[in-house]
Amino acid sequence: MVVQNLLRILLVAVGSACGGVLRWVVGAGVGQWLGTAWPWGTFLINISGSMFLGWFLTRLDLRSNGAGGLTADQLRLLIGVGFTGGYTTFSSFEWESLGLLGKNQALAAAAYIIGSAALGLLGVYLGAALARPASP
């Protein structure tokens, strides 16, 4: 039991580290590309992370077995909890929303909050739809 729990911790930690590094790379790149006046990086990270999580968990559920020597539960921890949790940025989203409100940019804050929630949900839906095999 102790070894299993240590493996679970390791899977989440490795996935989180990789997701966090990718979040930094994408956020910095998007910031250079689109600027930082509006939190485009966090916005795009959360939408793409939502889409990826919808795709990944749907594919994993359809397979019902693991891959690469890992069980489905281990992959859920590594990729679903660790990687995607490290990649997506909900706490940053909340902080940036508060920052926009603090700068009296209520319209920008509302667009960011509503857009993130609506497009994040759409991203999960699209990811799940992309993961399902095409009907003949």
Q: Indicate the number of domains in the chain.
A: 1
Nearest Cα residue to 18 out of 63, 65, 59, 77:
77
pLDDT digits (tens, 9 = 90+) for 47-80: 999 999 999 999 998 876 777 888 999 999 999 9
DSSP 34-52: H-SSS-HHHHHHHHHHHHH
Higher pLDDT, 135 or 90: 90
Mean pLDDT confidence for 107-129: 95
Q: Among the residues of the chain, which ranges form H helices? A: 2-34, 40-63, 72-75, 84-87, 90-102, 106-131
User: For the segment 11-50, what is each residue's pLDDT rounded down to a tens digit?
Assistant: 999 999 999 999 999 999 999 999 999 999 999 999 999 9
Residue 83: inside a domain: yes
On whether residue 136 sits in a domain, the answer given is no
Give the pLDDT band (50/70/90) at residue 95: confident
Domain that holds residue 95: 2-131
